[in-house]
Amino acid sequence: MKAFEKNIRRVEPYVPGEQPQHKVIKLNTNENPYPPAPGVKKVLEQMDADRLRLYPDPEASVLVEALAEHYGVGKGQVFVGVGSDDVLSMCFLTFFNSEKPVLFPDITYSFYKVWAELYRIPYECQKLDESFRIVREDYYKENGGVIFPNPNAPTGIYEGLEFVEDIIAHNQDVIVIVDEAYIDFAGKSALELLERYENLIVVQTFSKARSMAGMRIGYAIASPELIKHLNDVKYSFNSYTMNQTSLACGVEAVKDQAYFERTVKQIVDTRAWAVKQFEELGFTCLDSGANFVFVTHPAHDAGELFEELKKDGIYVRYWGSGRIRQYLRITIGTREEMEALFAFFRNKFID
């Protein structure tokens, strides 16, 4: 080993789902199958390239204001970042600084472990029960902070507000982050608990329900005190995280509530229909509150299905390890995309 190599920070990075550059049926990274709100397209068409000479507003004011108005919170309660990955990573850096371990589920968004390792934060994974549900009592013990997604990923399971509040209430000496990347497809958000819990941070994204994964916009909503701490860390890292285009497009997406509701409903309806199809084919589906389903089949190996689907140009997500070895996570696409998936299964299962 060369002397300088001793000082290199070595990390095992998060592995994102594949982004094939040729045309496939893409049900592997929980993108929205519908385009962003029409106003976003208009903004892009009218963008003045000359504006790009200038740095963007480091406070991302227009987007912060649009989100504050939309959720009925103060401007000082909103933090925006380059996707919720950026926001969550800033939260880890800012709020998880204890000697005690941060707690999160063993089967969850795998980036949590990566950030904990990267920032050298001690952590302890809490096992989901046999039905892949979070066990609330596991989060009652002493810890350095708590984070979990609701709905959880990749299970898709949504827990009601009483459950979420119970975990927050048992952890008022540390920060609790509820990652609500998929909340719009599920039920009530933890946002309404903010009034009662000053240790709560709710993180959401434009990547799923707002069809803007490629734009990279995420946000956190919390008390003005916590948001100030987040901003202090952000300004110590990179002042200009949000580019001009994202800011302008983000505002348009927030404004169009009717479009948002329509496309979310389409996905939720397709999900209900798809679950029935999966069950008719003999799959077991975990109860999903997300824009994806987590499925397993008693007679077909998940790894083999994954490979064969891929050969047929249908991409889904497969981890192939531990308790989820026999599961596939399948994003809800358009009705036509899902029909193609089920046609594949029908042909395969009859052979």
Q: Which residues bind ligand PMP (CB under 6 A)?
A: 83-85, 109, 149, 153, 179, 181, 205, 207, 213, 218
From the list 340, 91, 54, the residue with the least C-alpha distance to 204 is: 91
CB nearer to ligand PMP: give 199 or 205: 205
CB nearer to ligand PMP: give 139 or 219: 219
In the complex, minimum distance from the CB of residue 194 to ligand PMP, in angstroms, rounded to a whole number: 19
Residues pairing with 146 in the sheet:
103, 176
CB nearer to ligand PMP: give 214 or 282: 214
What Å distances lie between residue 260 and 192, 208, 227, CA to CA?
20, 11, 26
Q: Helices 38-46 and 244-255: crossing angle, nearest 10°?
A: 150
In the complex, minimum distance from the CB of residue 165 to ligand PMP, in angstroms, rounded to a whole number: 20
Residue 254 CB burial class (10 angstroms; 0-12, 13-18, ≥19): buried
Q: Which two tokens stand for residue 189?
A: 């958000």
Query: 136, 117 in Cβ contact below 8 A?
Result: no
In the complex, minimum distance from the CB of residue 13 to ligand PMP, in angstroms, rounded to a whole number: 14
Enumerate residues 6+ apart whose C-beta is below 8 A from 340. Answer: 25, 314
Query: 124, 143 in Cβ contact below 8 A?
Result: yes
In the complex, minimum distance from the CB of residue 210 to ligand PMP, in angstroms, rounded to a whole number: 10
In the complex, minimum distance from the CB of residue 142 to ligand PMP, in angstroms, rounded to a whole number: 25
CB nearer to ligand PMP: give 111 or 283: 111
In the complex, minimum distance from the CB of residue 108 to ligand PMP, in angstroms, rounded to a whole number: 7
Query: 45, 178 in Cβ contact below 8 A?
Result: no
Q: Which residue in this structure is represented by tokens 């204890």?
A: 98
Return d(Cα 170, Cα 145) in angstroms, integer: 11
In the complex, minimum distance from the CB of residue 58 to ligand PMP, in angstroms, rounded to a whole number: 20
Query: Residue 87 — φ and ψ, nearest 5°?
Result: -65, -45
Return d(Cα 201, Cα 211) in angstroms, integer: 23
Q: Which residue is nearest to ligand PMP (CB)?
A: 83
CB nearer to ligand PMP: give 36 or 218: 218
Return d(Cα 87, Cα 67) in angstroms, integer: 15
CB nearer to ligand PMP: give 205 or 241: 205
CB nearer to ligand PMP: give 85 or 159: 85
In the complex, minimum distance from the CB of residue 204 to ligand PMP, in angstroms, rounded to a whole number: 8
Q: Which two tokens stand for residue 205?
A: 């994204």
CB nearer to ligand PMP: give 34 or 344: 34
Return d(Cα 208, Cα 159) in angstroms, integer: 19
If you compute the radius of gyration of the chain from its CA atoms, what whole number of angstroms results? 21
CB nearer to ligand PMP: give 245 or 277: 245
In the complex, minimum distance from the CB of residue 281 to ligand PMP, in angstroms, rounded to a whole number: 26
